[in-house]
Every structure is written in C-alpha cells, then in structure tokens.
Amino acid sequence: MEQQQEDSETTKEIKEGKRMTVYQPTKRSTSNQKDIERGAEAVSTFIKPLVLMLLWNWLFTLLFGLPPIGYVKAFGLYLMSRILFDHKSITIDTDD
C-alpha cells in the first residue's frame, strides 16, 4: 500500500513537471526551426552553383567541346535558371 502511494506521488510529480526525467521530450521553438531552414537555404544557394560548375566542366567540355566555366559564371547560370524555371513566390519573413 505504501509502495503504491509512493509511486502515485512520483507519477504526479512527473506529470506536473516538478521532477526532471531523461524521457521528457524537448520541444524546439519555431524560431529555431526557421533559423535552421534559412541557414540551409543560404548554404544551398552557394553549393548548387558549385555542383553546376563541376558538372559543366566535366561533361560539356568533353561532350561538346565548350570551354570550362568558373564559379561566377556558374552562379549566373544558376540565377538565370531560377528566374526562368522556379515559380515559387518570394516571401519576406521578418521577426518583429
């Protein structure tokens, strides 16, 4: 009987948040998630032209005899392709 009462008190403490447990889930705030998404988008903006440049220099120079391009030209091609083919609306999210 005493053991059951002791268990129920412990359970109440855990449910009320008074007792710290290892198994209590942690919640990420939405602002942290947005910051992570923005960072990933910024990194991918600069990585994709690098991949484009490497593929261009590997394939197009061998197959079609075109001259190799540098990172700046690859970035320009990437921006042009985003303007022409990426039809997502641009939203500006400010943290006020």
Whether residue 60 is contained in a domain is answered as yes
Whether residue 31 is contained in a domain is answered as no
Q: How confident is the model at residue 30 (pLDDT cuts 50, 70, 90)?
A: confident
Chain segment 31-90, per-residue pLDDT in tens = 788 889 899 989 998 999 999 999 999 999 999 999 999 999 999 999 999 888 876 666
Q: What is the pLDDT of residue 9?
A: 67
**Residue ranges making up the domain that contains 81:** 50-85
Chain segment 3-29, per-residue pLDDT in tens = 555 556 666 666 666 655 666 555 656
Q: What is the pLDDT of residue 15?
A: 62
Whether residue 91 is contained in a domain is answered as no
Q: What is the pLDDT of residue 22?
A: 66
Domain count within the chain: 1
Whether residue 2 is contained in a domain is answered as no
For residue 13, the Cα-to-chain-centroid distance in whole angstroms is 37
* Structure-token pair, residue 47: 């990585």
Whether residue 36 is contained in a domain is answered as no
Whether residue 61 is contained in a domain is answered as yes
Tell me the C-alpha distance between 17 and 7, whole Å. Answer: 15
